[in-house]
Amino acid sequence: MLATDSDPIVAIATAPGRGGIGVVRVSAGRAGAAAIEALMQAITGQTLVARHASYVPFLDGAGTVLDRGIALSFPAPHSYTGEHVLELQGHGGPIVLQLVLQRCIDAGRAFGLRLAEPGEFTRRAFLNDKLDLAQAEAVADLIEASTEAAARSAGRSLDGAFSRDIHALVDDVVTLRMLVEATLDFPEEEIDFLEAADARGKLARIREQLDHVLSEARQGALLREGLSVVLAGQPNVGKSSLLNALAGAELAIVTPVAGTTRDKISQTIQIEGIPLHVIDTAGLRDTEDEVEKIGIERTWNEIGRADVVLHLLDARTGMNAEDDVIAARFPAGVPVVRVLNKTDLTGVAPEVTKRVAADGSEVCELRLSAKQGDGVGLLRAELLRIAGWQADAQSVYLARERHLIALRAAREHLEQAAAHADQDSQSLDLFAEELRLAQESLNSITGEFTSDDLLGVIFSRFCIGK
């Protein structure tokens, strides 16, 4: 039998393992009032008052008590899923919860109650207009958040902050479209539309607002995904020591023997709530050692995937010929920080310097001592800077790559629209088309694909006689 979005579903809603309480949740569809009633009768032996906590026994098929707990019913549409919902809150043991779950399935067999698929409760909340797509994603992000900052911004998205900003942008685009389309429909009126309606000014304000949303979303994506930071360089320059210094723990083996690290070692650390996936690698050199060769191959694989490469050097020697060969192989476009380690041996104070290389690229050099820990704070700050983190960002949303792609697409369409607006009025229909495409991109974030919404707005704001 094929699963459908109207099947009654059931699942254990709490995490696996032992806990104070455990919740079994049933969502029985928007027409599932009778199913919930039957289930309550079968399992608790009573009819419950909607949205009232009732302390009841959970009974098995023979009428024996499996557990005692709170039963709550939420008639549609006032529930998480927007459907008729029953929650059984019992004790949080894996076996007892399995028994209650099985009891629900047995008692609900008559009306086709089945186990819910992953995310199915939230999917229904979206389908029943309880949450939009961005909010539904925020539910998952909130649950998965691994830092306080990530949890807080997922909470903001769930509360609708991100969706509200997207809706505000869509509203502005729709208003502008309405003006353009009206002008297109009545060319005989010969309005210099762009002048009369201040279309350029309106578009400029929308673009400004979109840039703002995009920058907040970019920060949010950073909170969600983090950055992969690869420590690379010749053997013995102190890569493992620096990993340990950043992590504040002796994770990697450090010895004076060149070629100590054979395999990559990863650790996720947090700076200002941003997860940084720091990867220590095998030192790069020519070698005949089979094991070391494989390790070095892995180093290059990691460098290929890095968001930031920390090229470690011994401060006493600086860049040498081998380092030039290494640096030449770094992938283009990935920020590289040259970290001159072991400053404690040179007597030079930790510092960050930036200069422009012969080829016009910016070279960032940072002097520190991994062993003493001096200058590691400078490195943290530099990593935050590369990540584009702004300490004063106030309303970050925990955005996903999908949102960034949609926002960037919308931005491009608005840029195109602006280009058309700067030409003569012949390109007004192209201007309108770019606005439509921008709106479509924005709508994809909240999951609305209403092609009728523009008409709706037009008719609601114009009177027939005009």
Ligand X SMILES: Nc1nc2c(ncn2[C@@H]2O[C@H](COP(=O)(O)OP(=O)(O)OP(=O)(O)O)[C@@H](O)[C@H]2O)c(=O)[nH]1
Residue 135 interacts with Mg ion (CB under 5 A): yes or no: no
Which letter, b or e, does each residue of 278-291 get, where b requires 16 or more Cβ atoms within 10 Å of its Cβ?
bbbbbbbbebeeee
Nearer to ligand X, 227 or 340 (CB): 340
Q: What is the layout of strands, in order, in the sheet containing 65-74?
A: 54-59, 65-74, 85-92, 19-27, 9-12, 114-115
Q: Indicate which of ligand X, Mg ion, none lies near residue 110 (CB less than 5 to 8 Å, by partner kind).
A: none
Nearer to Mg ion, 260 or 268 (CB): 260
Smallest gap from residue 244 Cβ to ligand X (A)? 8
Rg of the chain in Å (alpha carbons):
30
Smallest gap from residue 226 Cβ to ligand X (A)? 23
Q: Indicate which of ligand X, Mg ion, none lies near residue 255 (CB less than 5 to 8 Å, by partner kind).
A: ligand X
Smallest gap from residue 263 Cβ to ligand X (A)? 10
Residue 416 interacts with Mg ion (CB under 5 A): yes or no: no
Residue 341 interacts with Mg ion (CB under 5 A): yes or no: no
Smallest gap from residue 348 Cβ to ligand X (A)? 12
Residue 343 interacts with Mg ion (CB under 5 A): yes or no: no
Smallest gap from residue 127 Cβ to Mg ion (A)? 52
Residue 261 interacts with Mg ion (CB under 5 A): yes or no: yes
Q: Indicate which of ligand X, Mg ion, none lies near residue 371 (CB less than 5 to 8 Å, by partner kind).
A: ligand X
Smallest gap from residue 344 Cβ to Mg ion (A)? 18
Name the one range near Mg ion by CB under 5 A: 1-9, 181-189, 217-225, 261-269: 261-269
Decide if 30 contacts 128 (C-beta within 8 A).
yes
- Find, among 259, 254, 229, 233, the residue nearest to 387 by Cα: 229
Smallest gap from residue 326 Cβ to ligand X (A)? 12
Q: What is the layout of strands, in order, in the sheet containing 362-367?
A: 265-271, 274-280, 227-233, 308-314, 336-341, 362-367, 351-356
On the question of a cis peptide bond just before residue 77, with omega within 30 degrees of 0, the verdict is yes
Can you give the binding site for ligand X, defined by CB under 6 A? 235-241, 254-256, 258-261, 283, 341-342, 344-345, 369-371
Nearer to ligand X, 14 or 266 (CB): 266
Angle at 321 between CA 320 and CA 323, to 5 degrees: 65
Nearer to Mg ion, 312 or 417 (CB): 312
Decide if 420 contacts 434 (C-beta within 8 A).
yes
Name the one range near Mg ion by CB under 5 A: 114-122, 156-164, 253-261, 376-384: 253-261
Specify the residue for token string 């004063």.
392
Residue 240 interacts with Mg ion (CB under 5 A): yes or no: yes
User: Within 76-160, where are the H helices?
Assistant: 94-107, 120-127, 133-144, 148-158
Angle at 83 between CA 82 and CA 88, to 5 degrees: 110
Q: Indicate which of ligand X, Mg ion, none lies near residue 47 (CB less than 5 to 8 Å, by partner kind).
A: none
Question: Which pairs from 301-304 meet CB under 8 Å and 24+ separation?
Answer: 302/228, 302/230, 302/232, 302/264, 303/230, 303/232, 303/329, 303/330, 303/331, 304/331
Residue 369 interacts with Mg ion (CB under 5 A): yes or no: no
Nearer to ligand X, 14 or 287 (CB): 287
Smallest gap from residue 322 Cβ to ligand X (A)? 13
Nearer to Mg ion, 261 or 439 (CB): 261
Nearer to Mg ion, 260 or 266 (CB): 260
Question: Which pairs from 237-240 meet CB under 8 Å and 24+ separation?
Answer: 237/283, 237/312, 237/313, 237/314, 237/341, 237/342, 238/312, 238/314, 238/341, 238/342, 238/370, 238/371, 239/280, 239/281, 239/283, 239/312, 240/265, 240/280
Cβ-proximal residue to ligand X, closest one: 283
**CB count in 10 Å sphere of residue 255:** 10
**CB count in 10 Å sphere of residue 204:** 14
Q: Indicate which of ligand X, Mg ion, none lies near residue 370 (CB less than 5 to 8 Å, by partner kind).
A: ligand X
Name the one range near Mg ion by CB under 5 A: 153-161, 236-244, 334-342, 457-465: 236-244
Nearer to ligand X, 142 or 242 (CB): 242
Instruction: Please report which helix (H) or strand (E) contains residue 437, including its range.
Output: helix 428-446
Nearer to ligand X, 211 or 351 (CB): 351
Nearer to Mg ion, 301 or 353 (CB): 301
Residues that bind Mg ion (CB under 5 A): 239-240, 260-261
